[in-house]
Amino acid sequence: MEAYIEYVILIFLLVFFCLQLYYLLGVQRKLAVYHPKEKTINPNFKASVIICARNEAANLKENLPFIFEQKGIDFEVVVVNDCSSDTSDEILRAFKAEYNNLKIVTKDEHPLFKTGKKFAVTLGIKASSNEVLVFTDADCKPETNQWLATICSNYEDTNTEIVLGYSPYKRSKGLLNLLIRYETFQTALNYFSFAIKGMPYMGVGRNLSYKKSLFFRGKGFASHMHIQSGDDDLFVNQNANEYNTAIEIRPESNVWTEAKTTWKAYWMQKLRHFGAGKAYKKSHKLQLTLQALSSIGFYAFVLLGALLTHYWPYVLAAFVLRFLIQSFVFYKSFIILRYKDLIWWLLFIDPLYYLFLVIISVRRLFRKKQVWK
């Protein structure tokens, strides 16, 4: 009986190891070997930047100037002041006096009916004047004044209707920041790699673009308005395909933001984000679930194999081999996604990340309904 258990553990370990090889070499390596084509854009190209802000006075004051400094194309900035109770209105009016390409949309909260971010985004889209929409948040800062032109250069291909950009978090001290940046890396590595593979499934609203005509043709957020989050990833999930979606990873297109500074704030953010995943297409949910389970299962059976079998040298060999392959695949992507320092933490942070996924997945079973801040 004891030998039977040992064999079962080793078989499961082998299965999960093979699945990991598929996702590492067959999917995630695609970003490392991807070479973006040089693109140019007509200076007469027009775009609308849309920002939804609720009580973001300080961030608007700090970051809006970097939006207005964008060069290379003609653009407007649409800011939706979403039920703010701080000094956002005053700050936006001051910007309006300085920049004539600013549009302000003010939304007041209804005393009986609470609305979330998707309603604010819809108002911003309806107020925009241009076909190409580029989304970011009030707490985001473009790395260069070529951010907007670089994102929009992808529309030189007339088939493109969606552009997936990248928004890394700034580095600071502490385990929380390390985990946040690694989770952001894993998320970006996946959605870029799957998009290159021909299966785009999500984007991040801090740096995302799509055409207004696509929004209305797909009936906006109507099919998932009841889900609190998902104004970015669910829209992409339902409307993106291998022909209409481009990725943009050139450094000048990056948009940086500050990571959460408390575990509670990060925990609540992830609970909201995980809720949107339930509405993904079945094929996407299957791929992502299998990928996560293969990692979690691999670590679990490495531990069981080391503790409960006499074959620990083979278990250790599988662990080391998987780590070496992962390091090889991730190294170039760490550089591309601006997180080169994380390579030194990979052995520690990767199992911690998957432990976090397990804990938050269990916690979601008992989650109460939340509202957008």
Instruction: Tell me the per-residue pLDDT of 340-361, one tens digit each, with 9 for 90 and over.
Output: 999 999 999 999 999 999 998 8
Give per-residue pLDDT as tens, 195-231.
999 999 999 999 999 999 999 999 999 888 878 778 8
**Assessment of whether the complete model's pTM goes beyond 0.75:** yes
pLDDT at 370: 47
- CA 39 vs. chain centroid, Å, equals 23
Identify whether the C-beta of residue 152 lies closer than 8 Å to the C-beta of residue 134.
yes
> Does the pLDDT value for residue 373 go beyond 50?
no
Task: Sort strands 140-142 and 255-257 into parallel, antiparallel or unpaired.
Answer: antiparallel
- Cα–Cα distance measured from residue 350 to residue 352, given in angstroms and rounded to the nearest whole number: 5
For the chain, the average pLDDT equals: 92
Distance in angstroms (rounded) separating the CA atoms of residues 250 and 35: 10
Give the tokens for residue 238.
């339902």
Provide, rounded to the nearest whole percent, the portion of the chain with pLDDT above 90. Answer: 80
Whether the CB-CB separation of 181 and 168 falls below 8 Å is answered with yes
Alpha carbon distance 59, 52 (integer Å): 12
Domains delineated in the chain: 2-32+283-338 (no CATH), 46-174+200-260 (3.90.550.10)
**Which residues, listed in sequence order, are joined to residue 102 by a DSSP beta bridge?**
77
Mean pLDDT over 130-145 rounds to: 97
